[in-house]
Amino acid sequence: MKINGNAIRPGNIIEHKGELWSAVKIQHTQPGKGGAYLQVELRNLRSGSKLNERFRASEDVEKVRLEQRTSQFLYTGDDMYTFMDNETYEQTDLNSDLLGGGTAYLQEGMEVTIESHEGSVLRVVLPDSAVFEVTETAPALKGQTAAASFKPATLDNGLKTNVPPFVEVGARVEISTEDGSYIKRADD
């Protein structure tokens, strides 16, 4: 589907220079001389490389729709991750490269979205957060009640993060899958 060059939004997938790119950041620019343009930071969906490109309103850009399938993570073995499609129950083995740094957040039974284009899997989108148990943390220091104070903790998946002083060993916490930061105590 063709769209105007200034209609690109963050998260859009476009075909540019024969490859698929995801718009990461956009900035509208109106120079004192010449026409306005949209400065777009693009990330290649296959290689992960980045590119800054200018698009004018007069340019047409091909917006691509990715096929999205909800799948459940089953297990891992030999650098391959096995997912089951929730509708067809078909199992798919994917390489860890498609998951990026998200492999540490995968949990058995976790639902993810697998995005593909023309039958080729491009990426796996994890949920925004996941729940883990704290296996190791320093004891809270007396008098450390400031809202901005955090202490280091190790989670049951081996990752290290910072948690508030009231979180103890054995507590279940919700962690962001984007950057590994603490969100809140788990609601279970």
Q: Which sequence spans correspond to the domains of the chain?
A: 2-63, 67-125, 129-185
- Please determine whether the domains at 2-63 and 67-125 fall in the same fold group of CATH: no
To 5 degrees, how large is the angle CA 74–CA 77–CA 78?
150
On the question of pLDDT at 101 being above 90, the answer is no
C-alpha span between 134 and 153 (Å, rounded): 7
C-alpha span between 34 and 104 (Å, rounded): 48
Alpha carbon 44 to its chain centroid, in Å, reads 14
Domain 129-185 has CATH 3.90.1150.10: no
On the question of pLDDT at 124 being above 60, the answer is yes
Per-residue pLDDT band for 5 (boundaries 50, 70, 90) equals confident
Second CATH level (architecture) for the domain 2-63: Roll (2.30)
On the question of pLDDT at 145 being above 70, the answer is no
What is the mean pLDDT of the segment spanning 164-171? Answer: 88
69 or 4: which carries more pLDDT confidence?
Answer: 69
C-alpha span between 37 and 21 (Å, rounded): 18
Residue 175, pLDDT score = 93
Q: Kindly state the tokens that stand for 135.
A: 């296996």
Tell me which residue of 85, 180, 169, 166 sits closest to 129, measured CA to CA.
180
- The chain-wide mean pLDDT, for the chain, equals 87
Per-residue pLDDT band for 142 (boundaries 50, 70, 90) equals low
Residue 136, pLDDT score = 92
Q: How far is CA 99 from CA 12, 46, 147, in A?
A: 19, 12, 34
What is the mean pLDDT of the segment spanning 92-119? Answer: 86
Residue 71, pLDDT score = 94
What is the mean pLDDT of the segment spanning 2-6? Answer: 83
Residue 147, pLDDT score = 58
Quick one: fold of 67-125? OB fold (Dihydrolipoamide Acetyltransferase, E2P) (2.40.50)
At 25-79, the pLDDT tens digits run 999 988 888 888 889 999 888 888 899 999 988 888 899 988 999 999 999 888 8
Residue 133, pLDDT score = 93
On the question of pLDDT at 146 being above 60, the answer is no
